[in-house]
Structure 1
Amino acid sequence: MKKPVLAGIAALAIVMGIGGLGIAQQQEVKAMRSDPVDELNRLGPDFKWEGKEGRMQRNYRQQPPLIPHSISQYQIDIRTNQCLTCHDWTNAGERGAPTLSMTHYLDREGNELDRIAGTRYFCTQCHVSQADVPALVDNQFKPSSPINSR
């Protein structure tokens, strides 16, 4: 290409870039929730689930159980896991909390341990707590049907 054509394309790109920045700065950025983007999202009150059997319904097979209480102040790190103060098999009975599945006490080779396995120590890598907040996007998800309903 000739130099004047390249210079014209470069000038056009600069003008378009500057104009685009001006337009972008005029538009207000909106958060997906009600709080402004530059502020912390305020969550609603913690979800309190009161159903039959005291457990939340799962939406698909093998879904890890949901946590029906707040864990915002729980410490879960390499030294401490506060979930285990209620849910470890040694404490669950007296605390009235569900016990961990026996799979949480198996090592990678399938050997039974007397303490929680290191691969299952960080509860929040699989389990999530619920909060009563609006959905970020519309969701058309339908839970899977039970196996014996066919």
Structure 2
Amino acid sequence: MKLLKLVVASLFALSVLGGASSFAADSINELRNADILTQDAAPRIPKVVNSDERQVRNYPEQPPLIPHKIDGYQIDKRLNKCMTCHSRKAIEQSQAPMISITHFMNRDNQFLASVSPRRFFCTQCHVPQTESKPLVENTFVDVDEVLKGEAKK
């Protein structure tokens, strides 16, 4: 008898829960557009500028932009792929600009023989440029434009 009551109770519970789950699915479909799952909602990744031409800086102390692709570059505590072209030893052959002398200074402004550990991870400050339109409107005016306007007055 106990077994029969247990079977009946479990069948009742399954029917109630099964109905609740279909009710929940119907409610969710009513709350959102059902076609959203069939659409490609993710934006396309913009192409990286790969011109190897230096970009103009927009303000003093701006870290230079990376003018080439860096896909697959290993930058971790063991290796920094950027240094194969931008280190002091490599610039003569690679014709790439050497990293700034400030990258060899520690936090006490003492010069080191190699790159400072706090400046070792290049992509913390330097980023590649992409071929994309700005996400927000920008009214930035370069300092040279400001000086031209002052000179006209």
Instruction: Identify the TM-score tier after normalising by the shorter chain.
Output: 0.5 to 0.7
- In the TM superposition, what are the counterparts of 1:1-150 in structure 2 within 5 Å? 22-26=30-34, 28=36, 36-37=40-41, 41-44=44-47, 46-49=48-51, 54-132=53-131, 134-135=132-133, 137-146=135-144, 148-149=147-148, 150=150
- Offset, 1:94: 1.8
Contact kept in structure 1, 2:85 and 2:94, CA below 8 Å: yes
The structure number with the bigger radius of gyration is 2
More helix by percentage? 2
Letter of the structure 1 residue corresponding to residue 34 of structure 2: Q
- Offset, 1:20: 7.0
| C-alpha distance in structure 2 between counterparts of 1:136 and 1:20, whole Å | 35
Q: Unpaired runs of 5+ in structure 1?
A: 1-17
Letter of the structure 2 residue corresponding to residue 28 of structure 1: I
Identity of aligned residues (%): 31
In the TM superposition, structure 1's runs of 4+ consecutive aligned residues that sit over 3 Å from their partners are 18-21, 40-43, 147-150
CA RMSD of aligned residues (A): 3.0
| C-alpha distance in structure 1 between counterparts of 2:109 and 2:76, whole Å | 24
- Offset, 1:144: 2.6
- Offset, 1:47: 1.2
Letter of the structure 1 residue corresponding to residue 30 of structure 2: G
- Offset, 1:148: 4.8
- Offset, 1:136: 5.9
Normalised by the length of structure 1, the TM-score is: 0.68
| C-alpha distance in structure 2 between counterparts of 1:109 and 1:124, whole Å | 23
| C-alpha distance in structure 2 between counterparts of 1:135 and 1:86, whole Å | 30
Letter of the structure 2 residue corresponding to residue 117 of structure 1: S
Q: Unpaired runs of 5+ in structure 2?
A: 1-25
- Offset, 1:143: 3.5
Normalised by the length of structure 2, the TM-score is: 0.67
